[in-house]
Amino acid sequence: METKEKRMIIRILSCILLLGIGIFLKNKIGSLICYLLSYIIISYDRYIESFQNIKKKEFFDENLLMILATLGAFYLKSYQEGILVILLFQIGEFLSERAISKSKKSITELMDLRVEEIELKEKTKIPVEQAKVGDQFLVRPGDRIPLDGVVVEGSSYLDTSAITGESEPVFVSVGERIVSGCLNTSSTLLIEAQETYKTSTAQRIMELLEQEEDRKSKTETWIHRFAKIYTPLVLILGLLLFVIPTIMGGEVEVWFYRMLIFIVSSCPCALVISVPLGYFCGIGRASKSGILIKGSKELEDLSKIKMILLDKTGTLTDGVMKVGKVSSKRKKKDFLQLVASCEENSTHPIAQAVKKENKAPLRKVTNYEEFPGKGISCTIGKEKILVGNARWMEENKIELPEIETSHTIIYVGVNQEYEGYIEIMDSIKESSYQIKNQKNIVIVSGDKKKVVEMVAKELGIEDYYGELDPEGKEKVVKEYQAKGKVMFVGDGLNDALPLSKADIGVSLANIGTDAALEASDVVLMNNDISKILDAISLSKYTHRKVMQSICFALIVKAIVLFLGIFGLSTMLMAIFADVGVTLISIINVLLIFTYQEKED
């Protein structure tokens, strides 16, 4: 327990003790002194906080409401009731802050993937911030991977749950790339750093999560504005509730007391505390499943998604391409060497497949240009080479032969003449079958229509588009946005334009690419496409819990306020409408963290 919490417990117990002494003392002056001491001990921080807010020109808050209510009770010589109001308020605040602190701590610990020190190959330890790309470091069993890198020596099982949400351990060995934040569970690994501390996956994830508070949902923004108007309005209405009846001949003490009940029960704590906490829990719960949501605004928008547009390559399919048939005027070896040389600087899965298939040394390339959604243009020696899809060839007026295939084709043109093609084969991901027959899903791909049609039929998806460049994908996004909010899911590299134009852009992390973390509102850290349905379901669950807390708080307060006008509410009921409702609302939104997938 922290010092601040211990101090508050001592204050609460001291207040209760002095209040008890004051009640049982028969000496009026002695009782009054005990009451005053009890009140000062329990309330002084509220006066300090209220005064500091006034200096910031924030005149109306819950502290002012409580101070006015307790001073009013003292004016009516209801000392016990006045102390009880602030005492129960402080107890409620203490329990609320403790619950929030514990939940935030557990979520933060769950998501805290950073390592402070790194052990170099020479067995010397340095701060992880000082490590450089190329440094080789040891990761022993039980330690977290500090930097993204490649395994140089050893093999081991990694717990990747903090990054991907997957519970099954992953086996890694020499040559495999691993990301920071994973936990080494079995054997010592020697890893060569490929990223620095600032650019490593774990640090980038933590930075995004820490920036979450700057991306507030509409509900949070509304509550914040509502509280600013609500508090002064409550004071004005409370004052009118006292002034009007007394002018008309009502008893001053009776209506003054009702005004105090009105002020106490109107305190907006339940709304101001529970709404941001609810979205924080939702984001934390999503992270636990390997779904990185960048802010409460994005979490709220997920609940309103009407259509899901999916890229195909690397999203619905494995993206681990293999070269199939190769057709060319040249020898297969020479043709693969030519195309692989052109693709040297490309990170596209198709380019990776060609480079992997090629066994010959790469040739020198000049005048390299990449055209997203189309292909590549470059020069090798005296030959101007074009590599890409049919649309790219047509734009460059290169005639193509008719080719019957259900696989992806990349064409090659040399000096404005057709040179040949390479067939690229891909397979549908296992996780893609979990979204089979979903009615609100559309495939939007740059691949051949026949290839897209084959994937769509396999997954039971009725609507699909093929042979689209990034501008074409953007156009489709805008068409569907006319009917409601649209999510676009892509690889974060070639789909930057539609990702940015969609209401919610979702990237598959592809094991920690920078573009995936920056281009989108949501990142699926384990590349499991079915997680988009979990993200939407969790968003709806979070929104439902937040709205339950808002409605519950407003209804209870309205009832107590209404009864208070007719003298049917007591100060204890008013305290429940404030403190009790706040605690219940907090407990309700904390349940978000216990959410089970496939809830809806």
593 pLDDT tier (thresholds 50, 70, 90): confident
Residue range 433-445, pLDDT digits in tens: 888 888 899 999 8
Give the span between the Cα atoms of 433 and 229, in whole angstroms: 50
Token digits of residue 280: 């924080």
- The set of residues, in sequence order, having a beta carbon less than 8 Å from that of 597 and lying 6+ positions away, is 289, 534, 537, 538
Amino acid at 113: L
Specify the pLDDT at position 217.
66
Specify the pLDDT at position 494.
63
Domain limits, CATH 3.40.1110.10, in the chain: 322-425
Catalytic annotation on 311? yes
- The set of residues, in sequence order, having a beta carbon less than 8 Å from that of 75 and lying 6+ positions away, is 256
CATH of domain 132-195: 2.70.150.10
Query: Is CATH 1.10.20.140 correct for 322-425?
Result: no
Does the structure show a pLDDT above 80 at 373?
no
Does the structure show a pLDDT above 80 at 583?
yes
Domain limits, CATH 3.40.50.1000, in the chain: 281-317+431-537
Q: Which of 61, 301, 311, 469 is catalytic?
A: 311
* CB-CB neighbours of 10 under 10 Å: 11
Q: Are 326 and 412 in contact (CB under 8 A)?
A: no
CA atoms within 13 A on the CB side of 142: 0
* CB-CB neighbours of 335 under 10 Å: 20
Does the structure show a pLDDT above 80 at 426?
no
Does the structure show a pLDDT above 70 at 5?
yes
Give kind and range of the element (H or E) at residue 184: strand 183-184
**Rg for the chain (alpha carbons), in Å?**
32
Report the 3 state secondary structure along 232-269: HHHHHHHHHHHHHHHHCCCCHHHHHHHHHHHHHHCCCH
> Which has more pLDDT, 330 or 565?
330
Q: What angle do CA 588, 594, 599 make, to 5 degrees?
A: 95
Q: Per DSSP, what are the bridge partners of residue 522?
A: 293, 506
- The set of residues, in sequence order, having a beta carbon less than 8 Å from that of 215 and lying 6+ positions away, is 294, 295, 296, 297, 298
- First-to-last alpha carbon distance for the chain, in angstroms, is 38
Specify the pLDDT at position 599.
45
Specify the pLDDT at position 87.
86
Residue range 164-193, pLDDT digits in tens: 656 568 888 998 888 888 889 888 999 999
Token digits of residue 454: 């084959």
Does the structure show a pLDDT above 60 at 428?
yes
CATH of domain 281-317+431-537: 3.40.50.1000
What is the pTM (predicted TM-score) of this model?
Answer: 0.70
- The set of residues, in sequence order, having a beta carbon less than 8 Å from that of 116 and lying 6+ positions away, is 127, 128
Residue range 14-73, pLDDT digits in tens: 999 999 999 888 888 999 999 999 999 999 998 998 888 888 877 666 777 778 878 888
Domain limits, CATH 2.70.150.10, in the chain: 132-195
